[in-house]
Amino acid sequence: MQTSFMRKPFPVTKVRGALAASLLISFVLIGQGSGIRLFGIGVIWAMVTVFLGFAFNNVPERSSVKGVIYALIFTTVITGLIVWLGIVIAPVLATLGR
């Protein structure tokens, strides 16, 4: 009996290497001086790569596809909560200095 797709081991180390290369490419795009559009693409690319890095750096080496999906969902929820909290607290912090 074959194992299902969700239980197969996921190549986490290969993804980590690809994310490192992707971050390097995004830094090259940010550092180039030929166009603002490439700069913007590089910034967005870096943000996505760092976000995925948060998830994949906290996944065990022999994790299944199911474990990787759970890690991505968990990282998305935590990051969303932090961004939401920052948006909610920003007006309060701005009035503290007055």
Q: Domain range holding 46?
A: 5-96
Q: What percent of the chain has pLDDT over 70?
A: 93
What mean pLDDT is reported for the chain? Answer: 87
Whether the pTM exceeds 0.85: the reply is no
Report residue 4: phi and psi, to 5°: -75, 165
The answer to which of 5-9, 13-17, 28-32, 85-89 has the lowest mean pLDDT is 5-9
What tens digit of pLDDT does each residue of 37-54 get? 999 999 999 999 998 888
What tens digit of pLDDT does each residue of 50-70 get? 988 888 888 888 888 888 888
Quote the number of domains for the chain.
Answer: 1
